[in-house]
Structure 1
Amino acid sequence: MNEQGIAAAPELHFDTPALKRYGNRRRLKDKAARWGIATGGIGIIVAIMLIFIYLLYEVAPLFRSADMQREASYTLPVPVAGTSSDVLFLTMEEQAEQGLRVMADGQAVFFDTRSGNQTRAFTLPLPEGSAITAISAADPASPLMVAGLSNGEAIVFKHDYRITWPDDQRIITPAIVYPYGEAPISLSENGKPLTEVAIQDGEEQLLIAGSAGQRIFMTAFTKEEDFLTEEIALEEQRVDLPAVAGEVKKLLIDPDQHWLYALNGNDSLSLHAISNINQPELVDTIDLTEGSATVTAAEFLLGGISLLIGDSQGHISQWFLVRDAEGKQQLTRIRDFQLGDQPITGIAPEHRRKGFLAVDATGSAGLFNTTARRTLLTVPVTDSAINTLGMSPRGNALLVESPEGLAFWRIENEHPEVSWSALWDKVWYESYEQPEYIWQSSASNNDFEPKLSLMPLAFGTLKAAFYAMLLAAPLAICGAIYTAYFMAPGLRRKVKPVIELMEALPTVILGFLAGLWLAPFVENNLTGIFALLLIVPFAVLGFAFFWDRLPVELRSRVPDGWQPLILVPVILVAGWAALGASGTLEHLFFGGDMRAWITKDLGIAYDQRNAMVVGLAMGFAVIPTIFSIAEDAIFSVPKHLTYGSLALGATPWQTLTRVVLLTASPGIFSALMIGMGRAVGETMIVLMATGNTPIMDANIFEGMRTLAANIAVEMPESEVGSSHYRILFLAALTLFLFTFVVNTLAELVRHRLRTKYSSL
């Protein structure tokens, strides 16, 4: 270009007002985009952290330690020890506002637990010249009591509390009532003083037992109700029981009135079967202590199944009946607790939980929970031995009486049944033959022992994910490889969106179909399903062999990469043949019923909604996720790597296995991890397609319950703030941490794979 041309060229100015405005707008958009993306990313991180913090906030109280604080201490008219006015029994009502002391002279005194002021007093109808020598309650949660007298008789009574609301103020009015009349009941022969008594009331029968020395006396009262007056008449019957080896120190009758436990002075326990009161039987005699220890206290745990035995060395042991291999029930020592090294002087079971409070000769008290096998708290209560103690029905208050007077203690112990062993280890639950992993969070009775092991739920979660990935991973990865590497671009543009569209199907629809259609279909065509796994692969291989033997001219009519369309009818025909032959194969090999053959001949349990159904349904739901991510990773491998490998003489298969898959391995691994995360967190399919039973069995024909499904089922029915409620949040936290750890490890592996194969 000459000089005139250069001079004539227009000049470019970048500082014009229009360009400046454009530049300003562009910089503003860049900043807005940068800050918007950064804010969104930080917001996601903050949201995840807030979820984590909230889960921790709900779970943390589970592991908070128990606490006891003295709220009041006072001195009531404390009788002189050894007189007829000894305090024999101490308890409280529901609100822990009214206390009750029962004394040997028959005085039943109600008092305010915080001030010690007497509110009401009653006198039991003792015969003249007699005194109370023994007293016992039916069970920790029952107000029914029996008092044994010095003349060999017994009085049945109960403490009752009526709540009224005059002027919107709560008033508790205590009383002593006699459900079976005020007349004393004769127990011992020749009027011998009763040293121990026991009572148990049922719908059809009332049992009262007493002892004098080595003799045990029992009277059964059969109840007959008058349909007109609804009054209950008692028909008395004496029950003959054999004498025990030593002097009876404690009598206990279980709530079902099947067993009588008699603790004697030789530190052994006599077990009497009293289901048939006409023929009672001494079943066994068990030694309760070892070495030089002696039994100093014995009580029922809530429910009357377990016995709590305290000894002179500060041990408390739990015992209950266990059925052995021959079907015989034996009293077995299950677990032990240690309060100190001084004798245990008293045990107060909780009224609504499987826990108890024990005190020793030094005035120390300990809170324990049997299911969790936890020592929750040990605290000195008095400076001297405790005479009597009583725990409130809610387990949140304690009354102790010692030579120093009465003391009222407030107890904070919200979640005693939770411990690491109760959540993740085997626990020997009451009436079970051995320790097991059990999840059973509720029952119909109030003395139920919560079984809150998370192991069956975690096992079920991994089991469901395993069978789903077992189906989904091979199909999705192989489909992604073929679609991205071998399939014709035109066909790929149709197939990939269709498979990705499957991901939009609501999982509740898949669960509904799996539970109501697929599960019965699999059960009725079980032989055909297994035949399908054999016939279809061989049919595909056979057709491939046949296709390879066809003339090139005929094969070339199908464009390269469109061959999968030919396999569709082959797979359909093979599947139809396998399912159609189900009945014939079942008749030939399994006697006409494969399910019965699996159950009877192989001894494998079969449930209609099982892990196989879950694997099929959830695998179908996971396939699109794995396929889409893996296909994108494979398709994104730079073409120059593929062309270079082919140009150097490698076959397409060699190029795939040694170049393409290695380069795409980080993305394929991410696809598998994301798919597994989807399977682990799936709720509705597992909820609807399994028996939803929390069992630990790898059997593919058995169901399971997952953590996510358990949360969905039980969270709406759990009491807010209860142990059950918080353990469900702990299950959610477990899922959260599992996903976080797996994703973190997956990211580390993916980074290493990317670093290793980035040089290709």
Structure 2
Amino acid sequence: MSLDQTTAAPDLDFTTSASRRLRQRRMLQDKLAAGGIAVGGVSVIIAVVMIFFYLLYEVAPLFKPAQVEPWHVKGAPLAPYTVPGSQSDTLYLAVEEQAEIGFRISADGEMVFFRAAGGELIDSERLDLPEGVEISSFAVLSEASRIFAFGLSNGEIRVLRHSYKATYPDGQRVLTPHLEHPLGEAGIQVANGPIEKLAITNNGDRWGVAALSDGQINFTRLALTENLFTGETSVDRSEKQLPSLGLKPRKLLLTPDLAWLMASAADGKIAVVNLRGEPEITQLFDASEGQITSFQLLLGANSLLLGDDKGKLSQWFFVRNDQGAPELTQIRDFEHSGDAIVSLTTEQRRKGLVSVDNNGALALYNATARRTAFNEPLFDGPVGHIAMAPRSDALLVEQNGKLSYWHVENEHPEVSWSVLWEKVWYEGYDEPAFIWQSSASNNDFEPKYSLMPLAFGTLKAAFYAMLLATPLAICGAIYTAYFMVPGMRRKVKPFIELMEALPTVILGFLAGLWLAPFMEANLAGIFAALVVIPIAVVGFGFTWQNMPERIRFLLPDGWDAALLIPVVILATWFALGIAVPLEQLLFNGDLRTWLSNEAGISYDQRNALVVGIAMGFAVIPTIFSITEDAIFAVPKHLSYGSLALGATQWQTLTRVVLPTASPGIFSALMIGMGRAVGETMIVLMATGNTPIMDVNIFEGMRTLAANIAVEMPESEVGSTHFRILFLAAFVLFLFTFVVNTLAESIRQHLRKKYGSL
């Protein structure tokens, strides 16, 4: 056989039908794979975008401005109508819960129930007065209580409440209004002459009445006692005459705790009287440069609202001064047009208020948020009285003997940038603060929706988790990928990656019920272990390296790292063993007590240290796996070339391998941080869920994710609380998006920088 025949290329035919079918099948598979990958990628992008817009859809109503428009009946705006009942001056206007029935009290004592949308008379009743006795004053306990009182010229008061009973004949709801007498139908004597000014308050079975008569203010306490056998109610009373206020009162106010009386004068002065013990005037000052035109308590009666003829509208409440005594202090004022405030009323279930100025501009405010939700001129000139429905969805306004009825849409006035991200001065606090407290047991509660403690807690938990996980995971990945022998690597790497499959609820359960009490009982031992273990590892490594070769060669090459397991266990046991003597020597026998008493550092059992260890344990597998793959994937010819040129293994690692793998290592850190930021169950079960801002490692925290998990099931769908929880989720989404975008840009920069190695 010739050489040409032996070396000739084989005769291959690529045009056979089988070859064509194979190529077609491969092309189809390639197209299907490419299409599937493209569809999957686009679907992920669409899903993320849909999540973004859904969160935005739920959050957007929080910042929607309020709307006020005339009430519509059968599709047409309701025209103003003449006030029902007596044509004498109006003392008081109100609207019931369903915004169907209005209530009006006139100066001659007529009390009228009428259809709010139209003015049709439903029922009326006139105050039964003795011969020659007239109404000399009038007071409202609060809008929410529906209790009001008449002061009479004979020194008596009559206390009533307008109420509404719902019945359902034939399946149709029917509201029946009626009047009640909480203190009985008979008058109660509180003064010796005509009552010029009157204030009334109530706290359970205790009542307080302040009556100005003949220049003197008499304060009467009434206590209702029900006989358990007869059911009769008796009234126990005590009286005190208050000292001269140093001003001519224009209006009196009493707080529900029967502790304070406040009086305003036309010239802008305010007097504050402490009613505890022997009454005394604690403050007398100029609260306004003009004349006070509105003087009213906000919902809960903890705040005073003050309006004047200069257009200033402000909020005041008691704050402890430097001597520790309560002092009425101006907290905030509200943006206003500058025209005189002529009418003011408050919402019955929120810290909101409604004002009308001298030019007919109506404004809706929220006190806590310091937010002006609405401010537009709706009337020609000043109005007489305004009344807000309990649900804050309707407004009844009297002007020039006519009533107009308005529909109000103001769902979320409690939210503003300052409430979410700035310090707010809340009622009962001595200074502004970041507070998250979303609910309470009554409507007087002032919601506190600051997201700062939650965002701070999220970053705090992530920081301590990454502080533990980052060095352990990266150093472990470097040793496993670069120094460890293949046989041992094949066992260690899957074992560490298997840790990631452990449910975080199990880790949270162990952290909360076992780790936290263990660390509390062995705090000194834990800190001793942080010192003893590194020393033991370094010392063992030095000792092992200097042992005779006949001993070191007893272990297969590369398996000596396994000896560190018993070293770490023994070092931990030793650290826990010396903890008690150390505490006796350095910390007077108890490290926790020493921290609290000597160092001034508070200790909570479920704290950031517990979270750092538990969540770090959960994050380590993620960072380790990605980092190890990135280092192991560095082409071997780079490290071989470096070693061939005389570099040591350590120089090769730090100057060649790690820079080349840096994009992957950085990605591992960002993914691990994302895992830590979004973690829910561990922080939910191991932190105590206290929404505080404290960098102390021994204090707990509450994260955004844990807060959503805790409060979302209890929130009312569509409520402000519900939407703010979605806002928290939106903040988490944006944080993750921004961090990942930044991380990707840095990763690409690192790839370009070290890709040429």
Given the two structures, how large is their TM-score scaled by the length of structure 2?
A: 0.96
Q: State the 1:5 CA deviation.
A: 5.6
- Supply the AA of the counterpart residue of 1:638: P
1:345–1:360 Cα contact (<8 Å) kept: yes
1:590-621 Cα offsets, whole Å, 9 max, x none, are: 11111011011111110000000000000000
Distance 1:11 1:469, change over 3 A: closer
Q: State the 1:6 CA deviation.
A: 10
Corresponding residue of 1:219: 220
Q: Matches of residues 645-724 of structure 1 in structure 2 within 5 Å?
A: 645-724=642-721
Distance 1:543 1:117, change over 3 A: same
Corresponding residue of 2:364: 367
Matches of 1:522 and 1:8, distance apart in 2: 79
Q: State the 1:273 CA deviation.
A: 1.7
Q: State the 1:567 CA deviation.
A: 1.6
Match for residue 114 of structure 2 among 108, 111, 114: 111
Corresponding residue of 1:245: 246
Corresponding residue of 1:537: 534
Corresponding residue of 2:311: 314
Matched, 1:272 2:273: yes
1:307–1:319 Cα contact (<8 Å) kept: yes
Greater shift in the superposed pair: 566-575 or 679-688: 566-575
Corresponding residue of 1:180: 183
Q: State the 1:342 CA deviation.
A: 1.6
Match for residue 521 of structure 1 among 515, 518, 522: 518
Match for residue 86 of structure 1 among 62, 85, 89: 89
SS, match of residue 408 in structure 1:
strand
Corresponding residue of 2:459: 462
1:71-94 Cα offsets, whole Å, 9 max, x none, are: 12333257999xxx2111000110
- Supply the AA of the counterpart residue of 1:315: K
Q: State the 1:118 CA deviation.
A: 0.8
Matched, 1:387 2:393: no
Greater shift in the superposed pair: 412-421 or 550-559: 550-559
2:84–2:121 Cα contact (<8 Å) kept: no
Q: State the 1:27 CA deviation.
A: 1.4
SS, match of residue 414 in structure 1:
coil
Q: State the 1:247 CA deviation.
A: 1.6
Corresponding residue of 1:56: 56
1:214–1:244 Cα contact (<8 Å) kept: no
- Supply the AA of the counterpart residue of 1:61: P
1:214–1:245 Cα contact (<8 Å) kept: no
Corresponding residue of 1:66: 66
Q: Matches of residues 284-363 of structure 1 in structure 2 within 5 Å?
A: 284-290=283-289, 293-363=290-360
Greater shift in the superposed pair: 216-225 or 730-739: 216-225
Corresponding residue of 1:147: 150
- Supply the AA of the counterpart residue of 2:113: F
Structure 2: gaps spanning 5 or more residues: 72-77
SS, match of residue 393 in structure 1:
coil
Greater shift in the superposed pair: 279-288 or 352-361: 279-288
Matches of 1:8 and 1:297, distance apart in 2: 110
1:108–1:121 Cα contact (<8 Å) kept: yes
Q: Matches of residues 600-679 of structure 1 in structure 2 within 5 Å?
A: 600-679=597-676
- Supply the AA of the counterpart residue of 1:187: V
SS, match of residue 129 in structure 2:
coil
Matches of 1:566 and 1:289, distance apart in 2: 80
Matched, 1:573 2:570: yes
1:79–1:86 Cα contact (<8 Å) kept: no
Matches of 2:54 and 2:164, distance apart in 1: 41
Matches of 2:67 and 2:245, distance apart in 1: 42
Q: Matches of residues 31-46 of structure 1 in structure 2 within 5 Å?
A: 31-46=31-46
2:84–2:119 Cα contact (<8 Å) kept: no
SS, match of residue 559 in structure 2:
coil
Q: State the 1:196 CA deviation.
A: 2.1
Runs (4+) of structure 1 exceeding 6 A deviation are 1-4, 6-10, 78-81
Corresponding residue of 1:263: 264
Q: State the 1:544 CA deviation.
A: 1.9
1:314–1:340 Cα contact (<8 Å) kept: yes
Matches of 2:369 and 2:214, distance apart in 1: 38
SS, match of residue 338 in structure 1:
coil
Greater shift in the superposed pair: 13-22 or 568-577: 13-22
Corresponding residue of 1:726: 723
1:466-504 Cα offsets, whole Å, 9 max, x none, are: 000000000000000000000111100000000000000
Corresponding residue of 1:98: 101
Question: Alignment RMSD, CA only?
Answer: 1.8
SS, match of residue 440 in structure 2:
coil
Match for residue 163 of structure 1 among 155, 162, 166: 166
Distance 1:7 1:736, change over 3 A: closer
- Supply the AA of the counterpart residue of 2:58: E
1:325-344 Cα offsets, whole Å, 9 max, x none, are: 43211111000013222211
Matches of 2:50 and 2:186, distance apart in 1: 66
Greater shift in the superposed pair: 704-713 or 4-13: 4-13
Matches of 1:512 and 1:213, distance apart in 2: 70
2:465–2:676 Cα contact (<8 Å) kept: yes
Matched, 1:435 2:432: yes
* Aligned residue pair count: 751
Corresponding residue of 2:200: 199
Q: State the 1:12 CA deviation.
A: 4.0
Corresponding residue of 2:82: 76
Q: Matches of residues 444-593 of structure 1 in structure 2 within 5 Å?
A: 444-593=441-590
Corresponding residue of 1:378: 375
1:183-228 Cα offsets, whole Å, 9 max, x none, are: 2223332x23x33211112223211122246422222212221102
1:245–1:264 Cα contact (<8 Å) kept: no
Matched, 1:422 2:425: no
Match for residue 756 of structure 1 among 750, 753, 756: 753
Matches of 2:669 and 2:156, distance apart in 1: 77
- Supply the AA of the counterpart residue of 1:89: Y
2:254–2:262 Cα contact (<8 Å) kept: yes
Matched, 1:397 2:394: yes
Matches of 2:538 and 2:10, distance apart in 1: 72
Greater shift in the superposed pair: 559-568 or 424-433: 559-568
1:384–1:403 Cα contact (<8 Å) kept: no
Structure 1: gaps spanning 5 or more residues: none
2:83–2:119 Cα contact (<8 Å) kept: no
Distance 1:429 1:230, change over 3 A: same
Given the two structures, how large is their TM-score scaled by the length of structure 1?
A: 0.96
